[in-house]
Structure 1
Amino acid sequence: MIRESYFENLLAKEFEIEDLGDLKYFPRMEVSWSTEGICISQRKYILDLLEETSMLGCKPLDIPMDSNVKLGLDQDNSSVDKGYQRLIGKLIYLSHTRLDIGFSVCLRSKRQTVVVRSSAEAEFTALANGICEGMWIKRLLEELKFSIDSPMRIFCDNQVAISIAKNPVHHDMTKHVEIDHHFTKEKIDEGIITLGYMPTALQTADILTKAFPRVNFEEIKSQLGMLNIYSPT
């Protein structure tokens, strides 16, 4: 029986589908439902991986990477360890449900096409790209019949970049990124976006880009609402 929901009825008109109830398992993933939302984990996958590598008795680390470690060039010219490569591949797959250890921003990181002269200008260029991405997501949600009437709130941790975006007086500072300047200012004037300052200490997105000491790591995880659903209460 197809549930009485707009999305499912829409799919049923185009495709032959069968309602199997609430999702509980997806390849290598477990899904738990509660009144507070949906939790995704890979507990069984982790246990199987630990058993395969004879590490069931190991103690977990508090952080995915030491923030003080200094990496150097690999001087080992020995043959490739296929078992090690296979293990790395499994760990990469595991990180798909753990945004706190996946450093996910690296998946979309790329060199800016515009040469800038300061960190503020680099932030400003990234701000324009972020607005484009936000507008695309908004249009996608509207296509799925989610109504979004309020302006998108875009946060930036660089006050100079925010000032450039809001104040046309800074025209001389942004001649070489003029298209981004006009685009951002236009979206502010149209009420499509609003800009807000986000102090670096509260920048939760940083967990997606770099390693942190344990205290900072746990604080950001808490801000993101991430929790261990298997920990004793």
Structure 2
Amino acid sequence: MDPPPGIPVTSKEGMYVLDLLAETGMLDCKPIDTPSEQNHKLGLYPDQVPTDKKRYQRLVGKLIYLAHTRPDIAYAVSVVSQFMHAPSEDHMAAVTRILRYLKVTPGKGLMFSKYGHTDVEGYTDADWAGSATDRRSTSGYFTFVGGNLVTWRSKKQKVVSRSSAEAEYRGMAHGVCELLWLRRLLRDLGFGPKKPMDLYCDNKAAIAIAHNPVQHDRTKHVEVDRNFIKEKLDAEIVSFPFISYEYQLADVLTKVVSTSIFHNSLDKLGMRDIFAPT
């Protein structure tokens, strides 16, 4: 069911997208349904053909700015931003695909609606060893206040994770930090959460590690994150409900999903197109 009428926040962003398409000569380009190609193998390879570095950096910089209000392109932009120092024609093609996606969605943005509560919750996910270059994982999270999406992030992890549980657990730590920041902010505004904040995760092993006080050999390499998360869990500041992968909204921040899953997730995130016919 669609949310109640809210406030569109996309008018300026829509003009920014149209100006960007005009600047790049892509106003008449063929649109595409998703910003990234499934099963892409973008990386740094010895035989790659270089492209115009300054132009690439300028375009990606503009897309990074746009991604601050467009969670639908957050993952795609995080990928292309990893090759700013040595972009290739394949990387430029990935940037062009993002622009082709924006062509069909210039007015897409977040719709803030009133749901009658101020609950704080989040979704966290990680794509284990997803990078074709260095096998590092990508983690991402969405956070909601009062049923509305307020913050998100998609970022490659700094170290190589030795298991999917480790990758998910590191992603959980980032999500907990974001929820704690929101909790402090809301308390300063007089709207502090009155119950534990839910952080939904689709990895049972990572959730089990969070609840288990015993230090296993397999978790020593994430000991700092483990103690940090357990402390917040014991204080009943956060909780970690399990969620099935088909309801995991954060998937779109860590990997390229199918077109149907992608658009279904955007709808659940509260993204609407102000230019779409009513």
Question: TM-score, structure 2 length as denominator?
Answer: 0.59
Letter in 2 for 1:63: T
Question: Shift of residue 122 of structure 1?
Answer: 3.5
Question: Shift of residue 61 of structure 1?
Answer: 1.1
- SS of residue paired to 1:44: helix
For the structure 1 residues 181 and 229, does the alpha-carbon distance in structure 2 shift closer, same or farther, using more than 3 Å as the test? same
Letter in 1 for 2:49: D
Higher strand residue share: 2
Question: Shift of residue 63 of structure 1?
Answer: 0.6
Counterpart Cα distance in 2 of 1:77 and 1:177: 38
For the structure 1 residues 176 and 66, does the alpha-carbon distance in structure 2 shift closer, same or farther, using more than 3 Å as the test? closer
Counterpart Cα distance in 2 of 1:51 and 1:129: 37
**Superposition pairs of residues 146-225 of structure 1, within 5 angstroms:** 146-168=191-213, 171=216, 173-225=218-270
Superposed CA offset, 1:187-219 (max 9, x none): 323222211012222221121232222112111
For the structure 1 residues 156 and 86, does the alpha-carbon distance in structure 2 shift closer, same or farther, using more than 3 Å as the test? closer
Matched, 1:99 2:93: no
- SS of residue paired to 1:145: coil
For the structure 1 residues 176 and 40, does the alpha-carbon distance in structure 2 shift closer, same or farther, using more than 3 Å as the test? same
> 1:75 maps to which residue?
48
User: Which structure's CA Rg is the greater one?
Assistant: 1
Higher helix residue share: 1
Superposed CA offset, 1:142-173 (max 9, x none): 12222321111122211012122223356465
Question: TM-score, structure 1 length as denominator?
Answer: 0.68
Q: 1:49 aligns with which of 12, 15, 20?
A: 20
> 1:141 maps to which residue?
186
Matched, 1:128 2:173: yes
For the structure 1 residues 68 and 145, does the alpha-carbon distance in structure 2 shift closer, same or farther, using more than 3 Å as the test? same
Identity of matched residues, %: 48
Is the Cα–Cα contact under 8 Å of residues 34 and 259 in structure 2 kept in the other structure?
Answer: yes
- SS of residue paired to 1:187: helix
Letter in 2 for 1:99: P
Letter in 2 for 1:36: G
For the structure 1 residues 140 and 68, does the alpha-carbon distance in structure 2 shift closer, same or farther, using more than 3 Å as the test? same
Matched, 1:62 2:33: yes
Counterpart Cα distance in 2 of 1:178 and 1:91: 36
- Report the number of matched residues: 197
Letter in 2 for 1:194: S
Superposed CA offset, 1:116-152 (max 9, x none): 6532234334433432332232112212222321111
Q: 2:274 aligns with which of 220, 224, 229?
A: 229
- SS of residue paired to 1:97: coil
